[in-house]
Structure 1
């Protein structure tokens, strides 16, 4: 048994050395949702990504991503709906995207397909980079029992914790609304990926949600664990679908996902993080 353990340890060290010799560059770009579905806890104003200035910025941003030369682009689309994403991307490559969307989807859902960052940013970058496919990585079969956490805090009489949460959400909402009104699209993306913004995003789960509930009620920790699980599953798809020949990849996800995945990438010797500020500002 001792010799077997030594052999396994040696193999793992060898694998680590191999992975470490040629890590793929991973550009992890966190963003707000351009179409603003109002599905997040923090409710913010809508940024008009279709206006002339953001559209010009998107051209510059995607030119810089093309220069980064990603071999694959991953987006926040359900992984088991890859065929639908493929159809949309093929329509985009053929210059028929808007007509395809308006012909296939009801009017009430067209805002998503025309404005979301997947189509406005990832599809645009993928076409410029000559990529045949955009890869889906989202996994949604997890829970986010926010109501249960609220009830657990009430039952445990955690009024101070509840106030801390409410104060944080209000402060973030006010700050993000102010930025959405004053910053350019490029500035917004850089801000969402700043160390401070990423730390606040991730810290709220560990510092606040994880404490929710009485000592024998783990509603808060369960919510946090489910959030970790969703992001781990998403990152697993990046790991599985990145081939040894893919020396550069782009992962475009909501800023909350980026805050979590950053830790995963930093612990994975197969990848080397590229900072958005080093790519978008060229």
Structure 2
């Protein structure tokens, strides 16, 4: 009887160990927010009108958004700030918050810093990596040299449509609606399709200018995503990532294939 009891005990322990090993690991939640640059210096290829986030109406919206982020409760907030300049970001974060919120329209201040202060975080995490190129002028030249007139026309029309639609929305949408739109399926599909359907095709067969631009864009975003993976600790249950919308579109693909993370849509918390 004693031997049988020991065998049963060992069997139960082995079964429990096996079940524990097979138990799914709880995924960490990522609230991904793709944004336009509130304080746009005009460096983007597409040139669109500014949207004043410093109005009383937009400031109220930003407070509401930050309150919803606070309720979500991310353990860390990652932003589009050079990772190599984290010390500068730390000093910036420790400046007078009220003064920054009144003087700086930057989305890192208005969304990330505002939210982080409500959460009593001690810092923001910079993840941007600028060791890559975006040779747009060379891309267009490659199309011209290859006689890709239809592709050139498609690219110009794509850019024109984007600028027209963006300017229309910035005249009629609230700030909240603009952000929800940038995180919606239509925008994400449009953004990713430009890289694969237009940019990647550019150039003669022996000229990989298009593929080079696309690969450099992937490279930049992969380096950024790697920092989110590395800086998210085992104790963290959720994080937030605030990036330009085109970066966020790429991040969605990474998260979708990363078994350790679960995407949280902006619309689900607002």
Q: TM-score, normalised by structure 1?
A: 0.86
Larger radius of gyration: 2
8 Å contact from structure 2 (residues 101, 110) kept in 1: no
Secondary structure of the corresponding residue to residue 239 of structure 2: strand
Aligned to 2:62: 58
The CA deviation string for residues 107-164 of structure 1, in whole angstroms up to 9 with x for no partner, is xxxxxx7111001110000000111110000001101111111111111000110000
Aligned to 1:42: 46
8 Å contact from structure 1 (residues 30, 256) kept in 2: yes
Comparing 221-230 with 83-92, which one deviates more in the overlay? Answer: 83-92
Counterpart Cα distance in 1 of 2:188 and 2:141 = 28
Q: 2:259 pairs with 241, 251, 269, which one? A: 269
CA deviation after TM superposition for structure 1 residue 279, in Å: 1.0
The CA deviation string for residues 44-99 of structure 1, in whole angstroms up to 9 with x for no partner, is 00000100100000000000000000100000000000011101111145x45479
CA deviation after TM superposition for structure 1 residue 244, in Å: 0.8
* Structure 1 residue 214 corresponds to structure 2 residue 204: yes
CA deviation after TM superposition for structure 1 residue 243, in Å: 0.2
Aligned to 2:132: 142
Counterpart Cα distance in 2 of 1:82 and 1:17 = 39
Counterpart Cα distance in 2 of 1:221 and 1:34 = 30
* Structure 1 residue 163 corresponds to structure 2 residue 167: no
Aligned to 1:125: 115
Aligned to 1:27: 31
Aligned to 1:10: none
Secondary structure of the corresponding residue to residue 245 of structure 1: coil
The CA deviation string for residues 151-187 of structure 1, in whole angstroms up to 9 with x for no partner, is 1111100011000000000001000000001000000
Aligned to 2:3: none
Aligned to 2:222: 232
CA deviation after TM superposition for structure 1 residue 17, in Å: 6.1
Aligned to 2:238: 248
Q: TM-score, normalised by structure 2?
A: 0.90
The CA deviation string for residues 194-214 of structure 1, in whole angstroms up to 9 with x for no partner, is 011011011100000000001
Comparing 120-129 with 20-29, which one deviates more in the overlay? Answer: 20-29
* Structure 1 residue 78 corresponds to structure 2 residue 82: yes
- Contiguous gaps of at least 5 residues in structure 1: 1-13, 100-112
Counterpart Cα distance in 1 of 2:63 and 2:71 = 12
Counterpart Cα distance in 1 of 2:96 and 2:216 = 34
Secondary structure of the corresponding residue to residue 227 of structure 1: helix
Secondary structure of the corresponding residue to residue 277 of structure 1: helix
Secondary structure of the corresponding residue to residue 208 of structure 1: helix
Aligned to 1:4: none
Moved over 2 A (4+): 95-99
Counterpart Cα distance in 2 of 1:97 and 1:120 = 9
